[in-house]
Chains A and B, each alone.
Chain A
Amino acid sequence: MSHEAAARDTANTPDDAGQRPVPFRGGGFVHRPLGPVAPVVFLAILALWELGSRSGFISPIALPAPSAAFAALADLFKTGMLWKHLGASLYRLALGWTLGSLLGIAVGLAVGLFSLARAGLLPLVSALFPVPKIALLPLFIIWFGIGEGSKVATILFGTFFPTVIATYAGVDNVDRGLIRMGQSFGLGWLSIVRKIIVPGAMPAILSGFRISASIAIVLLVAAEMIGAEFGIGAYILMAGALFALDQLIAGVALLSVLGLVIAWLIGKLEKRLLSWRM
């Protein structure tokens, strides 16, 4: 874009006095807000997909039409099963994510504040963070039972580690000058932690929330694929087993909406807690 502009300006002919404008070389590399592009793209893809299905170009065995998926969703709503599945999933998600985040923030603060905790826990966190928690699911089932316990535990462990890392990195990044200021005014240790370190680490903790929430949704579905009667994951698994692809797509769409809603909620939280940053 900037290249086109530059090419046009250099092509300007000199006027009578032999003066010519300085060629414009700036501009570009900046994003403009374009309004409703995203919904248009989304609807266009849906329309093309629907058209392909109707015309027989896309086989219903390979991919059901969006209208079929929507009908499955409507069916889910009408039978009242939607709330049962959604309720079970949200309960697990909320419990697992909240506990994981609270524990993660507590341990992250300890790692950020105390040398002993850092030396003792950080290698452990680094060693366990990359382990896919789904691989540990059988272990969790033995420890916490096949019911809600193992599912909540999977989400808890999955959200715990990224929260620890985000929190201690946030604590490390708090301006040392502010801490020194607090000490120079004789603030107590607890005051410095509460009033300077925690608010200073908040941006990092909240961006950690974005990551841990996505991880939680992934783990939710995985955990619900074993021994769950209700839940979006169970619904998707059942649809897959029956090759009811319309229901499968409906379930995936539900997950996608769930992810968007959570991202939106975290965005709201950031606006509220980090308004001082704008």
Chain B
Amino acid sequence: MQLTLHDISHRYGGTTVLDGVSLTVDDGEIVCIVGPSGCGKSTLLRIAGGLEKPDGGAALLSGAAPEGSLNPLTYIFQDFALLPWRTVEGNVSLVLEDHGIAASERAAIIADVLSRTNLSDFARALPRQLSGGMKQRVAIARALAVKPAILLMDEPLSALDSQTRELLMDDLVALWSRERFSACYVTHNLNEAVRLGRRIIVLSRRPGRIRDVVEIDMPLAERVDRLAELELLQRRVWDIMREEAREADREISDVA
């Protein structure tokens, strides 16, 4: 399945936050979107998943969803968005309950995704008992449970400390190597972008336009051993972004 954002423009009140952004997420491809704060990255992702209507342009899907996909476009949020009153398995169960799946089959899916994310021992724990990293693993397990075609990841590692972030990045790479999911990955962390992205789309400061696209052909699994080359790429992306970030930093915000 392919997700295409065609000429997306959006404004909040009088402020244009996105201006003519077009991009495509191909099958099995991780597209990273980076940009200075307030450039409309998260808005773009909300539009991509149908949580917000763009003022101009359209988000388009092509191709059939994979067999058995319950929710082709599935988000992973920065703040995890777990229900604090449900256990780990209850949180995964939540997204299956509206699909008329028999209880036994549901339990099987839950057990499967929890084992794939190494969470089986935590099935009955409540979110408050888990570390940030474990919470995000639960959110990833929940996303896997609905067999997504495309994952929409909104700064998924930004609320975590740097060591946990490293661990989860390894998890994501391992997961991608096994399942070849496609993803649209929004981040402000350039290191994450060069570690995970097949393409990195650099947005300008508000109003967000595509400033540049950096392609990285290096296989995902090899990247952890070729950090020096990634460092150069990261520098390149930063060179593109630096002025934009500086200007964005000096702007007075009038949108929430």
A interface residues (Cβ-Cβ under 8 A, vs B):
175, 177-178, 180-188, 191, 195-196, 199, 202, 276-278
Contacts and interface: CB of A to CB of B under 8 A. Distances in A.
A185 B71 contact: yes
Enumerate the 5 nearest inter-chain pairs by beta-carbon distance, A residue then B residue, closest first: A181-B81, A276-B85, A185-B95, A184-B75, A199-B85
A58 B207 CA distance: 80
Contact of B81 (A178, A195, A199, A278): A178
Contacts of A195: 83, 94, 97
A194 to B, nearest CB: 10
Nearest to A186: B71
Interface of B: 49, 51, 70-71, 73-75, 77, 79, 81, 83-86, 94-95, 97-98, 126, 128, 142, 146
Nearest to A182: B94
A138 B73 CA distance: 61
**Most A CB within 10 A of own CB, among B51, B71, B85, B94:** B85
Given A181-B77, A191-B97, A186 B85 contact: no
Contacts of B84: 276-277
A276 B81 contact: no
A180 B83 contact: no
B153 to A, nearest CB: 12
Contact of A183 (B51, B94, B128): B51
Given A180-B51, A185-B94, 17 more contacts: A177-B81, A178-B83, A180-B77, A180-B81, A181-B77, A183-B51, A184-B51, A185-B146, A186-B98, A187-B94, A195-B94, A195-B97, A202-B85, A276-B84, A276-B86, A277-B128, A278-B128
Nearest to B75: A184
Contact of B83 (A184, A186, A199): A199
Contacts of B81: 175, 177-178, 180-181
Contacts of A187: 94-95, 98
A105 B84 CA distance: 22
24 contacts: A177-B77, A177-B81, A178-B81, A178-B83, A180-B81, A181-B75, A181-B81, A182-B94, A184-B51, A184-B71, A184-B74, A184-B75, A185-B94, A185-B146, A187-B95, A188-B98, A191-B97, A191-B98, A195-B83, A195-B97, A202-B85, A276-B84, A276-B86, A276-B128
Contacts of B86: 276
Nearest to A191: B98
A234 to B, nearest CB: 43
Contacts of A182: 94
Contacts of A199: 83, 85
Contact of B74 (A180, A185, A278): A185
Contact of A184 (B49, B70, B126): B49
A95 B73 CA distance: 49
Contacts of B75: 181, 184-185
A278 B79 CA distance: 20
Contacts of B128: 276-278
Contacts of B126: 276
A175 B79 CA distance: 11
Nearest to B152: A184
A276 B128 CA distance: 8
Contacts of A186: 70-71, 98
Contacts of B70: 186
A101 to B, nearest CB: 21
Contacts of A191: 97-98
Nearest to A178: B81
A198 to B, nearest CB: 10
A277 B95 CA distance: 22
A143 B51 CA distance: 50
A186 B84 CA distance: 19
Nearest to A179: B81
A277 B129 CA distance: 10
Nearest to B49: A184
Nearest to B50: A184
A174 to B, nearest CB: 11
Nearest to A274: B85
Contacts of B146: 185
Nearest to B139: A181
A204 to B, nearest CB: 14
A191 B86 CA distance: 14
**Most B CB within 10 A of own CB, among A175, A186, A196:** A186
Contacts of B142: 185
Contact of B79 (A177, A185, A188, A277): A177
